[in-house]
DNA sequence: AGGTCGACCTGGCAGC
DNA sequence: TGCTGCCAGGTCGACC
């Protein structure tokens, strides 16, 4: 579910809600979501204080007072809700010493939670590309990655070894703002388009963070609220509706097995 | 080697 | 009402 702006919003909320709190009790209702043993999960969390919270790609990392990290990948339907009521999708209940509670909810159970000593133990972090807001992500880097390659530009944006954190919604929105057809092969991306891709990527993601993310179906922030970026979305999930630029209908196609939405007139 | 596809799961919704 | 089929924001391993 959540892409970079949503995870960033959750991270920011959790900093205000649970940073420096100490785990008192962990109730794992569905150990399917764990990627380490239940015993280890509880042993390394109980009594530990959350020292810091960071986001890398679409993953959230909480550093603990014992030097280990609680790594949460929300995938499609995972939610971290502070102070909500458990429901049938609640997989883990974290209780703090001050009585506050953090829930991990996950309808589809794709999400993963684990405790690690060293982040390099997780393959995802080893192959992940640069953060969009990092200086390593820039027009030159984009050109470099496009050179002599044969794949549609939409697929490149979704490739997390190219850039971290962009998912299906924002890939569609970035390409719309660039006026680039999602089927365009990256080898045919020109210098000015690489610059445009860079600028619109930052613009869309920053705007989405400012609006606290997009809620299509399941996304909720750490307080259980929906994101507000939906009303800024111009193409995603708008098949058949009028393009905000030229009024012609938005088209839906499948690329790499996933829906792509775009305006065939505005995106060349 | 680079790129794509299906599987992993559950549930909502449209159509019959 | 109840069934079927399709769809969903991510990621990985198998395959071409």
- Answer yes or no: A3 catalytic: yes
Q: What is the mean pLDDT of residues A117-140?
A: 94
For A30-72, write each residue's pLDDT tens digit: 999 999 999 999 999 999 999 999 999 999 999 999 999 999 9
Burial (Cβ within 10 Å: 0-12, 13-18, ≥19) of residue A86: middle
For A205-248, write each residue's pLDDT tens digit: 999 999 999 988 889 999 999 999 999 999 999 999 999 999 99
Candidates A5, A6, A21, A58; catalytic one: A58
Note the pLDDT of residue A81. Answer: 96
Q: Which residue is nearest to nucleotide B6 (CA to C1')?
A: A257
Q: Which residue is nearest to nucleotide B4 (CA to C1')?
A: A256
- Nucleotide closest to residue A255 (CA–C1'): B4
- Answer yes or no: A2 catalytic: yes
Candidates A2, A5, A132, A152; catalytic one: A2
A75: alpha, beta or left? (left if phi > 0; alpha if psi -120 to 50): left
- Answer yes or no: A199 catalytic: no
- Answer yes or no: A5 catalytic: no
Q: Which residue is nearest to nucleotide C7 (CA to C1')?
A: A259
Which residues are within 7 Å of strand B by their Cβ atom?
A: A 88-89, 107-110, 149-152, 155, 186, 256-257
For A182-191, write each residue's pLDDT tens digit: 999 999 999 9
Q: What is the mean pLDDT of residues A111-130?
A: 93
Note the pLDDT of residue A1. Answer: 62
Whether residue A162 has pLDDT greater than 90: yes
Look over chain A and give the mean of its residue pLDDT values, rounded to a whole number: 95
Residues in chain A: 268
**% chain A with pLDDT above 70:** 100
Q: What is the mean pLDDT of residues A9-30?
A: 97
Protein footprint on strand C: which nucleotides are under 7 Å from a CB? 7-13
Q: What is the mean pLDDT of residues A63-82?
A: 96
Judge if pTM exceeds 0.95.
yes
pLDDT category at A149 given cuts 50, 70, 90 is confident
- List Cα–Cα distances, A53 to A200, A201, A245, in angstroms: 27, 24, 40
């Amino acid at each position: 579910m959540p892409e970079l702006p949503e995870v960033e919003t959750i991270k920011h909320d959790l900093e205000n809600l649970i940073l420096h709190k100490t785990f008192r009790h962990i109730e794992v209702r569905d150990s399917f979501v764990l990627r380490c043993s239940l015993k280890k999960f509880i042993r390394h969390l109980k009594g530990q204080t959350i020292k810091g919270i960071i986001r890398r790609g679409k993953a959230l990392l909480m550093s603990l007072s014992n030097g280990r990290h609680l790594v949460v990948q929300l995938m499609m339907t995972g939610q971290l809700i502070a102070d909500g009521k458990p429901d049938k999708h609640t997989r883990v209940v974290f209780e703090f010493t001050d009585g506050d509670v953090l829930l991990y909810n996950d309808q589809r159970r794709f999400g993963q939670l684990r405790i690690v000593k060293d982040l390099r133990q997780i393959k995802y972090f080893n192959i992940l590309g640069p953060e969009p807001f990092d200086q390593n992500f820039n027009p030159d880097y984009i050109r470099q990655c496009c050179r002599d390659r044969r794949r549609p530009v939409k697929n490149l944006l979704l490739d997390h070894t190219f850039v971290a954190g962009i998912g299906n919604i924002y890939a569609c929105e970035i390409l719309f703002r660039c006026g680039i057809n999602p089927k365009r092969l990256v080898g045919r991306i020109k210098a000015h388009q690489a610059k445009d891709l860079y600028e619109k990527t930052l613009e869309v993601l920053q705007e989405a963070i400012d609006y606290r993310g997009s809620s299509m179906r399941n996304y909720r922030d750490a307080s259980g609220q929906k994101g507000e970026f939906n009303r800024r979305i111009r193409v995603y999930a708008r098949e058949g509706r009028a393009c905000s630029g030229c009024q012609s209908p938005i088209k839906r196609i499948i690329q790499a097995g996933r829906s792509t939405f775009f305006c065939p007139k505005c995106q060349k």
